[in-house]
Amino acid sequence: MFCTNCGNPVPDSANFCTACGSAIQHAPAPAPPPEPQPAAPVEYSRPVQPPPRPPDPPLTPLAAGAPSICQWCGAQIDASQLACPRCGATVKAPALRSESGWGELPGRKDMAKLQFGHSFCQIEGLYVPVADVNLASGDSIYFTHHVLLWKDVPVNMTTMSLASGWKRMFAGLPLIMMEAHGPGHIAFSRDAPGEMIALPLQPGEEVDVREHLFMLATSNVAYDWFSTNIWYSTQNGNDTETHYPVGMFMDRFRAPQTPGLLLLHAAGNVFVRELGPDQTILVKPTALIFKDPSVQMQLHFEHPRTGFDLGSVLGFGMGSYRWGNRYYWLRLWGPGRVAIQSVFDRMEGESRALSNCSSATETRW
């Protein structure tokens, strides 16, 4: 440190210069460094939050016991139920109908439960459905032997006696009808995809079903069959063969005194149409599922025109039109309900020469 007046070096602690006596001015002490401040938090971009959604209005509960009508079977049920306990159809499902008048089978949720007597039937699956029946003690059902899938050991099974049952055949063997008596579980299925049709029958109600579509029925449903009288014969050389496009017989189910339940299985999708008096439609015979007994049926043939026969022009007479293959139809006319399936088999003998047939109509075009 030096004196600012004479330049003589002086100690750092001296207040006066030892040479000239001048007062020593000390430099101000350096300010202490500022204390480190904490780093500001890094701000990241935040997603824009949408405004809060207003709360949904409270649902008005359906009053217990309020009446509702099932669009499929017409049963009056509690509006709080999600499915009809008689047929399993979804309650309040929209009734869709095409412009031509065909309505689709009402939707049925998987595991829909049907009630008959003190027993229940649960429809399990949507593609190859299974009818799982929980039989109560004292309740019974009957079914064809080839649709049985599994059963509990306590379920008692017996053979159902059929008048003239030897006439009925399935796959070349006699048709055997079985009865199952509760208590216990027993299940049924067909080895084909399709839809399970539940037909509740009211006292006095009847329905005609095409052969081999029947699954099961409650014991209070009467069972019979009748001859369809729908047939045609074809000839190939000296061989003559008779064909039955809707089967030689049709099953008829009836509820004589008390309501009953009938289960059918159809291939593909099911469509239903209500025919008015004398209203007529043509369907593929093998597509028919069931009909009301009031609906009448007979064969119908259509012959498309394929060209002009020039041979007769070159001969002695006037020319004539030639007609190609026949198309076989089942003519149905109302009044009554008709149900068909979207999967149908090809008609046998359609390309052969027709030698004879039951009552039929004909159109050439």
Question: What is the three-class DSSP state of 337?
Answer: strand
The Cα–Cα gap between 78 and 82 comes to 9
Q: Please tell me whether the peptide bond between 30 and the residue prior to it is cis, using omega within 30 degrees of 0.
A: no
Within a domain: residue 360? yes
Is a pLDDT exceeding 80 seen at residue 253? yes
The Cα–Cα gap between 97 and 299 comes to 27
Q: Are 354 and 234 in contact (CB under 8 A)?
A: yes
Tell me the CA distances in angstroms from 319 to 313, 326, 365, one per residue in order. Answer: 5, 22, 17
Average the pLDDT over 82-87 and give the result.
72
| DSSP secondary structure letter of residue 29 | P
Within a domain: residue 33? no
Return the pLDDT at 170.
53
Return the pLDDT at 252.
94
Is a pLDDT exceeding 60 seen at residue 97? yes
Return the pLDDT at 336.
94
Structural domain harbouring 292: 196-365
Within a domain: residue 231? yes
Is a pLDDT exceeding 60 seen at residue 44? no
Question: What is the three-class DSSP state of 312?
Answer: helix
Q: Indicate which CATH number applies to the domain containing 257.
A: 3.60.160
* pLDDT band per the 50, 70, 90 thresholds, residue 64: very low
Within a domain: residue 50? no
Q: Are 76 and 69 in contact (CB under 8 A)?
A: yes
Return the pLDDT at 325.
64
Average the pLDDT over 60-73 and give the result.
57
Neighbouring-strand partners of residue 307: 322
For residue range 330-352, list pLDDT tens digits in order.
999 999 999 999 998 887 777 77
For residue range 101-137, list pLDDT tens digits in order.
888 877 677 888 888 889 999 999 888 999 999 999 9
Within a domain: residue 87? no
For residue range 129-182, list pLDDT tens digits in order.
999 999 999 999 999 888 999 999 999 999 887 655 545 555 444 567 899 999
Question: What is the three-class DSSP state of 226?
Answer: strand
Is a pLDDT exceeding 50 seen at residue 63? no
Q: Are 363 and 327 in contact (CB under 8 A)?
A: no
Percent of residues, the chain, with pLDDT higher than 70: 73
Return the pLDDT at 57.
44
Within a domain: residue 236? yes
Within a domain: residue 260? yes
Number of domains in the chain: 1
